[in-house]
Amino acid sequence: MRAAVLHAPGDVRVEERPDPRIEQPTDAVIRLTATCVCGSDLWPYRGIEAINEPTQMGHEYVGVVEEVGSEVRTLAPGDFVVGSFVISDNTCEICRAGYQSRCVNGEFVSMTIGTQAEKARIPLADGTLVTTPDVPSDDLVPSLLTASDVLGTGWFAAVAADVQPGKTVAVVGDGAVGLLGVLAARQLGAERIIAFSRHESRQQLAREFGATDIVTTRGDEGVAEIKELTHGLGAHSVIEAVGTQESMMQAIRATRPGGHVGYVGVSHDVSLPGDELFFSAVHLHGGPAPVRRFLPELIDLITRRAIDPGKVFDLSLPLDQAAEGYRAMDERRAVKALLTV
Amino acid sequence: MRAAVLHAPGDVRVEERPDPRIEQPTDAVIRLTATCVCGSDLWPYRGIEAINEPTQMGHEYVGVVEEVGSEVRTLAPGDFVVGSFVISDNTCEICRAGYQSRCVNGEFVSMTIGTQAEKARIPLADGTLVTTPDVPSDDLVPSLLTASDVLGTGWFAAVAADVQPGKTVAVVGDGAVGLLGVLAARQLGAERIIAFSRHESRQQLAREFGATDIVTTRGDEGVAEIKELTHGLGAHSVIEAVGTQESMMQAIRATRPGGHVGYVGVSHDVSLPGDELFFSAVHLHGGPAPVRRFLPELIDLITRRAIDPGKVFDLSLPLDQAAEGYRAMDERRAVKALLTV
């Protein structure tokens, strides 16, 4: 099969790799319908995260089940499925508490599988994959694909930030996750949604997803604007979707005392000062999103056409042109690149 | 009046100070019945927090109203009152959300008043002071005094750590706040309460307050013990009541993914690594406790004799011997020193 492989920073090649096969009785093999490039793929692409060897990339996926292991009970060949970027058994105590991204038998798809490919072996298939009601029409595929990570992550961020009806939410980060955090906040009933963005096309998408205000400054200046918009108090809920020191401090400082920060940007060189955090009196929650928790609800919203998160894809390429997808996202020419298989 | 004044690290003197008077129409002047020495008073006593000038100490207090300003509506001379260590109007949006410790008109009693004294002026008296049903009998005074800070803070820590019926709670810190965190966890229905303590008398008190297990190790070794006691997962809820780098990391690491850390130890030189916090997937909440939120409930529990938090006082001295109270706590000869006025 063909798969996208990162050889070195900036060097993505689509090349031949062995077809995946059932290895464990709980595995499924799926044929990908679509996959995509994630903001987090850019960390190794930019050389900020080291890779030791040529690495098959990708962790977002929708597709059709080709084959299942002997112990798989809930899936059959021909089923259309969406899966999380973390494998989970969905039965352990941590999964049952809603934290499937930290399943005791969990593994990151990006570390061991790589779904920017024609096929993928999905371990713990019963726990990881969720079927759609029917094989979806083509126009629903991009939205379903977002559920695999960026929508599920933006949604978790909004839930972690305790977004509530009638409240004010600020969103730090105008990548796909931040934009879908806006969408989630709207769905969860937020009254006012303030998106930080300096890019006109992203501002436009933020507004389409439900942003009521756009703030173009950042850092302390951005925080001051949020305070001004909230009677000096700060937002009730802040979604952080970047993962840098600046973005984390911006999120914490933009939150009112007793408010909530939901942070999902993968932390890179972040160090939180205890005293400032203490006196901020905010709630802080985040981490790798337990997308599996939200998949049934998100699939339902998408197939009922209540939400259209697939709009975050502003570039669509065949898998063979994966390298161009990486380049376009690296250069911020694209918010998110979909790869058709 | 007489008051305890810190002149320099280790140098507490009880000396004559001007009697407080009504300055604002929202003030009350109270005559203290009892006050005490707080773990946080030891930071400046030990020279870890600098003081610029001789400073009147103390922020925990119960007493009798002597005089009220012209705008005070809910209090009258003769009322017995308990107040929080933070002044609050209890009407602003932040107060109404339950974060009176960050009231927009708030101030720390320790910074501007100092209640290790015969009398104190309490600003925003209607918002800050809560009356007891009757003038309490003498034996209830120590417990009511704890509500002013250490009980209210331990209680907030348990609430911030989302302590729930049937769950497992670990408590880092065996000072008065940690011990009363144990009591709070028991009242909130926790099934298993694991107290970290290496001091026999404190272990004994922890057990009296409801601890089911005692762990005598700390740091990574202590974390390993908690994991062993919880099927490898960690506690659902962890109360942090110290405020050091080691205690914070111990609390975070002892918490299961998706679990909650409630931290109330005032942070000193703490820096939280973003990547570890991210992948821990814990909820983190804490800060200066909004004691005012809990005062009515705590006063009710104490006056009904449902709880006896006053047991944390293992030393009682007249105000004139405040210096000995500081010494005993500094040398860990006493958990907490009550000062009678």
- Quick one: which of A218, A163, A155, A172 has its CA closest to A192? A163
Nearest by CB to B257, from A99, A269, A284: name it.
Answer: A99
- Quick one: which of A136, A144, A3 has its CA closest to A60? A144
Quick one: closest CA in B to A272, which residue?
B272
Q: Please indicate whether, in this complex, the C-beta atoms of A278 and B267 are within 8 angstroms of each other.
A: yes
Q: Please indicate whether, in this complex, the C-beta atoms of B274 and A270 are within 8 angstroms of each other.
A: yes
Indicate whether B134 and B27 sit together in one domain: yes
d(Cα A98, Cα A95) in Å, to the nearest integer? 5
H or E stretch covering A64: strand A61-68
Nearest by CB to A271, from B273, B284, B287: name it.
Answer: B273
Residue B340 neighbours by CB distance under 10 Å: 17
| Residues from chain A contacting residue B244 (CB–CB below 8 Å) | none
CB proximity under 8 Å: B 38-67 to A = none
Nearest by CB to A258, from B97, B274, B281: name it.
Answer: B97
Rounded to the nearest angstrom, the minimum Cα separation between A163 and chain B is: 15
Show which of B270, B286, B302 is a domain's final residue: B286
Show which of B286, B308, B330 is a domain's final residue: B286
Indicate whether A113 and A136 sit together in one domain: yes
Report pLDDT for B248: 98
Rounded to the nearest angstrom, the minimum Cα separation between A125 and chain B is: 22
Among B48, B102, B103, B292, most A C-beta atoms within 10 A, so best to mutate, is: B102
Indicate whether B316 and B277 sit together in one domain: no
Rounded to the nearest angstrom, the minimum Cα separation between A41 and chain B is: 17
d(Cα A157, Cα A4) in Å, to the nearest integer? 29
Q: Would you place residue A207 in the very low, low, confident or very high pLDDT band (cuts 50, 70, 90)? A: very high
d(Cα B71, Cα A260) in Å, to the nearest integer? 35
Tell me the mean pLDDT in the region A111-133: 97
Q: Would you place residue A2 in the very low, low, confident or very high pLDDT band (cuts 50, 70, 90)? A: very high
Indicate whether B214 and B276 sit together in one domain: yes
Domain harbouring B276, CATH code = 3.40.50.720
What ipTM did this prediction achieve? Answer: 0.96
| Residues from chain A contacting residue B93 (CB–CB below 8 Å) | 231, 233
Indicate whether B76 and B10 sit together in one domain: yes
Tell me if A257 sits within 8 A of A275, measured CB to CB: no
Among A156, A284, A291, most B C-beta atoms within 10 A, so best to mutate, is: A284
Nearest by CB to A258, from B102, B266, B275: name it.
Answer: B102
Domain harbouring B322, CATH code = 3.90.180.10
Report pLDDT for A211: 98
| Amino acid, res. A318 | P
Report pLDDT for A155: 98
pTM summary value: 0.96
Indicate whether B18 and B134 sit together in one domain: yes
- Note the pLDDT tens digit of each residue in A46-56: 999 899 999 99
Q: Please indicate whether, in this complex, the C-beta atoms of A233 and B93 are within 8 angstroms of each other.
A: yes
Show which of B268, B286, B304 is a domain's final residue: B286
Q: Kindly provide the residue ranges of all beta strands, DSSP E only, lying in chain B, ordered along the sequence.
A: 2-8, 11-16, 28-36, 55-56, 61-68, 80-83, 86-87, 107-108, 119-122, 129-131, 168-172, 192-196, 213-215, 235-240, 255-263, 271-273, 283-286, 315-318, 337-340
Indicate whether B106 and B173 sit together in one domain: no
Q: How many domains does chain B have?
A: 2
Tell me if B195 sits within 8 A of B213, measured CB to CB: yes
Residue B10 region, left (φ>0) first, then alpha (ψ -120 to 50), else beta? Answer: left
Tell me the mean pLDDT in the region A195-201: 96
Q: Is A156 on the interface with B (CB under 8 A)?
A: no
Q: Would you place residue A315 in the very low, low, confident or very high pLDDT band (cuts 50, 70, 90)? A: very high
| Residues from chain A contacting residue B101 (CB–CB below 8 Å) | 257, 281
- Quick one: which of B311, B76, B286, B1 has its CA closest to B182? B311
- Note the pLDDT tens digit of each residue in A144-191: 999 999 999 999 999 999 999 999 999 999 999 999 999 999 999 999
Report pLDDT for B182: 98
Indicate whether B103 and B214 sit together in one domain: no
CB proximity under 8 Å: A 285-314 to B = 285-288, 290
Rounded to the nearest angstrom, the minimum Cα separation between A307 and chain B is: 28
Q: What percent of chain B has pLDDT over 90?
A: 97
Stretches in chain B below the pLDDT threshold 70? none
Q: Is A275 on the interface with B (CB under 8 A)?
A: yes
Q: Please indicate whether, in this complex, the C-beta atoms of A287 and B272 are within 8 angstroms of each other.
A: no
Q: Round the average pLDDT of chain A to a whole number and report it.
A: 97
Indicate whether B181 and B142 sit together in one domain: no
**CA distances, A276 to each of A244, B38, B238, B269 (Å):** 17, 22, 21, 11
Cα angle B268, B272, B274; round to 5: 165
Indicate whether B168 and B99 sit together in one domain: no
Domain extent, residue B263, equals 152-286
| Amino acid, res. B67 | E
d(Cα A131, Cα A272) in Å, to the nearest integer? 40
Indicate whether B270 and B328 sit together in one domain: no
Indicate whether B145 and B156 sit together in one domain: no
Structure token pair of residue B34:
């009892």
Q: Is B280 on the interface with A (CB under 8 A)?
A: yes
